[in-house]
Amino acid sequence: MNYFSSNFKLGILGGGQLGKMMLYDTRKFDIQTYVLDASDEAPCKIACNTFVKGDLLDYDTVYNFGKQVDLLTFEIENVNVDALEALEKEGLSVYPSSKTLRIIQNKATQKLFYKDHDIPTADFTRFAYLSEIEDTIRNGGLQFPFVWKAAQFGYDGNGVKVVRTFDDLKELPKGECIAETMIPFKNELAVIVARNQKGEVKTYPVVEMEFHPEANQVEYVICPARIDTDVAAKAQEIALKISNAFNHVGLLAVEMFQTESDEILVNEVAPRPHNSGHHTIESSYTSQFEQHLRAILNLPLGKTDSKVGGIMVNLVGAEGYSGDVIYKNIEAIMQMDGVTPHIYGKKQTRPFRKMGHVTIVNEDINTARQIAEQVKNTVKVISK
φ, ψ (nearest 5 deg) of residue 35: -125, 135
The length of the chain is 384
268 known member of a binding site: yes
Residue 340's Cβ-count burial label (10 Å; 0-12, 13-18, 19+) is: middle
107 is in an annotated binding site: yes
54-63's contacts with Cβ under 8 Å and 24+ in sequence apart are 56/13, 56/14, 56/80, 59/83, 61/36, 62/13, 62/36, 63/87
For the chain, what is the HEC assignment?
A: CCCCCCCCEEEEECCCHHHHHHHHHHHHHCCEEEEEECCCCCHHHHCCCEEEECCCCCHHHHHHHHCCCCEEEECCCCCCHHHHHHHHHCCCEECCCHHHHHHHHCHHHHHHHHHHCCCCECCEEEECCCHHHHHHHHCCCCCCCEEEEECCCCECCECEEEECCHHHHCCCCCCCEEEEECCCEEEEEEEEEEECCCCCEEECCCEEEEECCCCCCEEEEEECCCCCHHHHHHHHHHHHHHHHHHCCCEEEEEEEEEECCCCEEEEEEECCCCHHHCCHHHHECCCHHHHHHHHHCCCCCCCCCECCEEEEEEEECCCCCCEEEEEECHHHHHCCCCEEEEECCCCEECCCCEEEEEEEEECCHHHHHHHHHHHHHHCEEEEC
Question: Residue 67, annotated ligand binder?
Answer: no
Query: Annotated binding site for ATP, which residues?
Result: 107, 149, 180-183, 188, 267-268
Query: Annotated binding site, which residues?
Result: 107, 149, 180-183, 188, 267-268
